[in-house]
Structure 1
């Protein structure tokens, strides 16, 4: 584990374990690198070097007032990869992290990148617009911001207990430990970063970023994702990249890297070895 300081003075916390081909994990909103612990241990034990950073304003990184946008997210990721001099890296992003990965590759190039994996990810665009009629209305995201600003601790508990992991579905068996861990990670971060981050993940249009990606891309998405709806994300992303593979998981929720870690990690390993 270590930290780097970016050009604007933000301290970014990261984990770096093992040796071998590097896999870099980018976490979702409003979590931290800890959300990847199970995946990191899985790939570490399969001979990979695993790296994950806390996004600025999240986890153990600096709770900055500004810079909570995809340009800064991508530049911070680039700073970590350069500091560690990563080569032939696989970049894995979940949710907002998927947007971060796409923007990083498009903005900083593929010289250090071998492959990319976008899991339950926000690209191409979450917001409903004339050009993106399948997106979600802005009022949805305004409501999220209002809850972050006024009652964050309750909101985070409810979000993890409900749509994020699909625990609001009939027959679901909620895990209090998983819910508690989500809440813990969220509350470690800064409210301002999380508030601004909602705009970053919902209003950034990644269409042109995706078109610039030439490395192989695995797109993994559950068709019961209540946070990033499947039809307007996974299939569209897989078509926009030049070398995309779409893997759809029937009935899986947004947080499937946690709820179905055994399946997701095994499928990802198989793709890396293919």
Structure 2
């Protein structure tokens, strides 16, 4: 099992597949999941000759269940230390949801030469929660509900989310995959309840406006038009306007977890972006 220890003593698990001299692709998973959420993409891009890497965020998956460092700065710093540990250059960083926020903060601050491009899928930036400056954001009561549900019965909550809005399985005519629901639950229950609880504040209240403005490399924003978790109007449509070199790709009718429900479509679009 591959792990490294961060400067604050936290053990982080990661997967590293493919030729070590190939262009690296680093995947950043969403809440409350793990690097396993990218299995389909990792297998696809490994088969295309890339080096593919995915870590489990601190407190998530197989990484140490620490209850400290749950903020976007530390998440990004952990990525920077992983990149240094593996000496990655010219990498493509791909992040989903909370992982999109993590990727954006890392890329905005990365050392020159470390990053070639980035892709943000159903990502949280610039800011999820409703504030005076973000009046069309999601009301705080929604995130308070997440906290209450997690604290009351995390196991049931982690069935309800993938069974409903995450994959769009609550929509009429949806093709429901029990395997995807169970895999979501499996990944979630591997992690720390404390880390997951704290991370709700991170993904909902972190303002990443300045991160997006600071990114110099090309960025592909991919978002499902029917995202019930991170609504497109409050995220992708705002984010692309803040980027220096951003492109928005919208998937009509698709959900928050569109890369998992439609991997062939998404993988082809990601490959075209990387190869361009």
Residues 30 and 58 in structure 1, CA contact (< 8 A), matched pair in contact too: yes
Q: Secondary structure at the match of 1:200?
A: helix
Instruction: Count matched residues.
Output: 274
The 5-angstrom pairing of residues 215-234 of structure 1 reads 215-234=217-236
Q: Does 1:11 align with 2:11?
A: yes
Query: What is the correspondence of 1:70-219 to structure 2 with a 5 Å cutoff?
Result: 70-219=72-221
Q: What displacement does 1:111 show?
A: 2.9
Cα distance between partner residues in 1 of 2:164 and 2:263: 18
Match runs of 1:52-67 below 5 Å? 52-67=54-69
SS where residue 53 of structure 2 aligns? strand
Residue 110 of structure 1: how far off its partner (Å): 4.2
CA distance in 2, matches of 1:174, 1:105: 35
Does the residue aligned with 2:117 lie in a helix, a strand or coil? strand
Q: Deviations over 1:237-265 (max 9, x none)?
A: 11111000000000010001100111001
Q: Deviations over 1:73-120 (max 9, x none)?
A: 000011110000000000000000000011112233443000000000
> Structure 2 vs 1, CA of residues 110 and 147 (structure 1 numbering), >3 Å: closer, same or farther?
farther
Q: Give distance in 2, aligned partners of 1:108 and 1:269.
A: 22
Report the CA distance shift for 1:70/1:25 in structure 2 as closer, same or farther (over 3 A).
same
Is contact 1:4–1:13 with CA below 8 Å preserved after alignment?
yes
Partner of 2:265: 263
In structure 2, the residue matched to 1:68 is 70
1:172-201 superposed Cα distances (whole Å, 9 cap, x missing partner)? 121001100000000000000000000000
Looking at structure 1, the residues matched to 151 and 7 of structure 2 have their Cα atoms a distance apart, in angstroms, of 29
Gaps in structure 2 of 5+ consecutive residues: none
The residue number in structure 2 matching 1:247 is 249
* CA-atom RMSD in angstroms: 0.8
Runs of 4+ more than 6 Å apart: none
Q: Following the alignment from structure 2 to structure 1, what is the Cα–Cα distance between the partners of residues 179 and 225?
A: 25
Unaligned runs of 5+ in 1: none
- 2:236 & 2:266 partners in 1: Cα distance? 15
- Superposed CA offset, 1:125-157 (max 9, x none): 001111111110011001101111111000000
TM-score (norm 1): 0.99
For residues 110 and 59 of structure 2, what CA distance do their matches in structure 1 show?
22
C-alpha separation in 1, matches of 2:82 and 2:106: 12
